[in-house]
Homo-oligomer: A and B are copies of this chain.
Amino acid sequence: MDTEKGLLIVLSGPSGVGKGTVRKRIFDDPHTSYKYSISMTTRDMREGEQDGVDYFFKSRNEFEQLIEQDAFIEYAEYVGNYYGTPVQYVKDTMNEGHDVFLEIEVEGAKQVRKKFPDALFIFLAPPSLDHLKERLIGRGTESSEKIQRRVDEARKEVEMMNLYDYVVVNDEVDLAKDRIQSIVEAEHLKRERIEAKYRKMLLEAKK
């Protein structure tokens, strides 16, 4: 096999940070060459949604059988419905040499880290975190209780970052998109990756 294996790119972050919006902006860009891994769910299809485009829609029974067959990279239950990332599409697409993009919750990202330790993990951070300092010490008018709550919240978000390789602040959707694209481009240019490719060529040349 000649094709270089694609990357697995995982975008995650606290809920409400705007992961879906950033992901859509990335895939609206005609230059984006990653493949989006469509999730599977047991929730009802909504007006305007299509099976195999927005989600793969499955019955609870089908989903649970797939769980038993270890067919998910990650899955979780939210408000009574299952959501998961089927492993087969991800593996096939990477083997074809394409980068695969997942946009998932923080809990799911933890599961992916275990199965794909070499994936590229990008944490999307709320802009409030970037202005933390001004918000916490810039003005002296806040109650200490309110400040403490913000410190605790921010600390939780900082703790979450730990398993990620990169942190992108979602201050502006287009900037966040550009940063993510730069990170992926740089990842492809890492010396280990490129040196390995050349060494393989040199070995083949000797045959």
Q: Which residues of A pack against B, CB within 8 Å?
A: 123, 125, 129, 132-133, 136-137, 147, 151, 154-155, 158, 161-162, 164-168, 179, 181-183, 185-187, 189-191, 194-195, 198-199, 201-202, 204-207
Of the residues B179, B194, B201, contact of A167 by C-beta under 8 Å: B194
Chain B residues, CB < 8 A from A162: 191, 195
Of the residues B147, B161, B205, contact of A132 by C-beta under 8 Å: B205
- Cα separation A199 to B162 with both chains bound (whole Å): 12
Which residue from chain B places its CB closest to the CB of A195 in the assembled complex? B161
Chain B residues, CB < 8 A from A154: 198, 201-202
Number of copies of chain A assembled together: 2
Q: A137-B207, A158-B202, A166-B189 are in contact. List 15 more A-B contacts (CB 8 A).
A: A123-B191, A125-B194, A154-B198, A158-B195, A161-B191, A165-B191, A166-B191, A167-B189, A179-B185, A179-B186, A181-B182, A182-B183, A182-B185, A183-B185, A183-B189
Instruction: Decide if B179 touches A189 in the complex (CB within 8 Å).
Output: yes
Minimum C-beta distance from A17 to chain B (A): 15
- Cα separation A166 to B205 with both chains bound (whole Å): 24
Chain B residues, CB < 8 A from A195: 158, 161-162, 167
Minimum C-beta distance from A73 to chain B (A): 21
- Cα separation A24 to B73 with both chains bound (whole Å): 46
Chain B residues, CB < 8 A from A187: 186
Instruction: Decide if B123 touches A201 in the complex (CB within 8 Å).
Output: no
Of the residues B147, B183, B186, B205, contact of A205 by C-beta under 8 Å: B147
- Cα separation A65 to B195 with both chains bound (whole Å): 40
Q: A137-B204, A198-B158, A205-B147 are in contact. Are A166 and B185 (CB under 8 A)?
A: no
